Structure 1
């Protein structure tokens, strides 16, 4: 049984969002003891800026109070990931890539020395041992196709911080056959091991 699940929605659509419907069903199916929720579409995160980068690259014990405050949200996002053993992410494909809100989240959680570290053998992710399920929806960008920059990017970034057990549930032909695409994705959700 999943103890702590982090549920992330990234669609800017509140009603009629395929990914919101799929992530809700996945979370329901997994029946976690505790669910943390982030809505990156309804409550967009700030973009990283010069102050954030400066604070992030200042050693933790040398940070000013203002720098600690600048990193507080990022620290909270990282803590949510660290606490979760399962992460469910809604990935609507916008213009062949991830939504801006999801990209902002990635920028805030990809931190050297915190979620990954550089070694003599290259970078090593520190958020290991987690299961990630991504509910992807697009009009016609097939998951894994040459035009699929969203799923490939998300899979790479999750692996970069240590989360390499990633499953995709795709409703990726909504513009051509929405009913069949959603039905196929819903069937995939029902096959997920709880």
Structure 2
């Protein structure tokens, strides 16, 4: 049995294409791996706070010096990190907002990139500690950006996932969704066809 952690980051609910892709993924994965444990964390309904002085204090102070508020912030961060460490497969559903990822997803990364837990510093530099995991990234984009200089989403996610040791990353892009005409159908069909191959 594998553990699959799914992170939803779209601010929208019913009209979200990235959420549609997630549901497609879940259906296919469950059919192929019925015994796997799937956990969904929705960053729109379970908002993760951005980094602040309280959390930084919780990270940097010894336990006996933390305030109650700092400890609560640290506990929340630990929960997110523990979920990621325990997962065998990570699924990120990420619409493209202004050429990059939603700020909620960036906040999640800020909580789980933890020195000594998901990466460490050594004599040769940082080393990812989450080796052996797989990741799938499901994106929804209004235009066609893959491979262009305007795509700050895939390069960032590849880098940040690689930084913590996750190098087996598959991107599934639904592109051209706001371009009208045949672009919408083509973009969705291509994404769904690629999804059919992942499980």
Q: Same fold (TM over 0.5)?
A: yes
Partner of 2:15: 16
Q: How far apart are 1:50 and its partner, in Å?
A: 0.9
Partner of 1:184: 190
For the residue of structure 1 that corresponds to 2:196, the secondary structure is helix
For the residue of structure 1 that corresponds to 2:147, the secondary structure is coil
Q: How far apart are 1:64 and its partner, in Å?
A: 3.0
For the residue of structure 1 that corresponds to 2:5, the secondary structure is strand
Q: How far apart are 1:43 and its partner, in Å?
A: 2.5
1:145 paired with 2:148, answer: yes
Contact 1:125/1:161 (<8 A) preserved? yes
Match of 1:167 among 167, 170, 181: 170
Runs of 4+ in 1 over 4 A off after TM superposition: none
Count of paired positions: 191
Contact 2:57/2:66 (<8 A) preserved? no
Match of 2:102 among 79, 85, 99: 99
Structure 2 unaligned residues grouped into runs of 5+: none
Q: TM-score normalised to the size of structure 1? A: 0.92
Please give the root-mean-square deviation of Cα atoms over the aligned residues, in Å. 1.6
Contact 1:134/1:168 (<8 A) preserved? yes
Change (3 A) 1:77 1:63: farther
Contact 1:12/1:41 (<8 A) preserved? yes
Structure 1 unaligned residues grouped into runs of 5+: none
Q: How far apart are 1:144 and its partner, in Å?
A: 2.9
Q: How far apart are 1:69 and its partner, in Å?
A: 2.1
Change (3 A) 1:110 1:134: same
Structure 1: distance between partners of 2:45 and 2:147: 28
Change (3 A) 1:153 1:86: same
